[in-house]
A = this chain, B = another copy of it.
Amino acid sequence: MDKRDLIISAALKLFVNNGFHGTATSKIAQEAGVANGTLFQYFKTKDELIIALYIHFKDELVEYVSRNTAENADIKETIKTQVLSSLFWAIDNPTKFRFIQQFHTSPYIGQVEQDILNKQVEPHLALIQKAIKQGIIKPMPADLVYLLITNQVFCFYLFVTSKKLSKAKQHETIETTFEMLWDMIT
């Protein structure tokens, strides 16, 4: 694990526990076991670190989902796989997922270039639009459907983590709630 990674995971932990400004860069360096100055070698400013963290973990999630998405399954199966793998990633990486949520509702989200945000959303929007054209999903704005789906994921995540369900029970709940979601939008 190189110093950059040490800094990233220390920062993740402290930001989620104490908030962005509630975490001093010196505390991050300490937690990472590196010197104060080293942090600024890898990230020019604290803001740059925070934004880099968001892009880093969001990319990790996007990559995980696309790696788990079958190439030529039908649309329902594709969307289902994407929803479920997002959720599994969130359950396995609660701190990273909470960081993303915290970032989304913070003023920092405005500092991320629109290009980067679009690039992560575009493929999903395209898939939804395709499903709407084929008459699978109800005719409605694609970005509303996207919002409904992503919020459902967040919702499942909150539920699954608040109760301490067994893996089997988790899967069962996720399956039923996905079918409910699917019924809603089709």
Contact = CB atoms under 8 A, between A and B. Distances in A.
A159 B184 contact: no
A152 B145 CA distance: 11
A154 B148 CA distance: 10
A105 interface: yes
Number of copies of chain A assembled together: 2
Interface stretch (A19-27, A62-70, A71-79): A19-27
Nearest to A160: B144
B181 A159 contact: no
A67 to B, nearest CB: 27
For chain A, which range describes its interface: under 10, 10 to 19, 20 to 34, or 35 or more residues? 35 or more
A102 B104 CA distance: 9
Interface of A: 16-22, 98, 101-102, 104-108, 138, 140-141, 143-144, 147-148, 151-152, 154-155, 158-159, 162-163, 173, 176-177, 180-181, 183-185
27 contacts: A17-B107, A18-B107, A19-B106, A19-B107, A19-B108, A20-B21, A21-B21, A22-B107, A98-B105, A101-B105, A102-B105, A102-B106, A138-B180, A140-B176, A141-B159, A141-B163, A143-B162, A144-B155, A144-B159, A147-B158, A151-B152, A151-B155, A180-B184, A180-B185, A181-B184, A183-B183, A184-B184
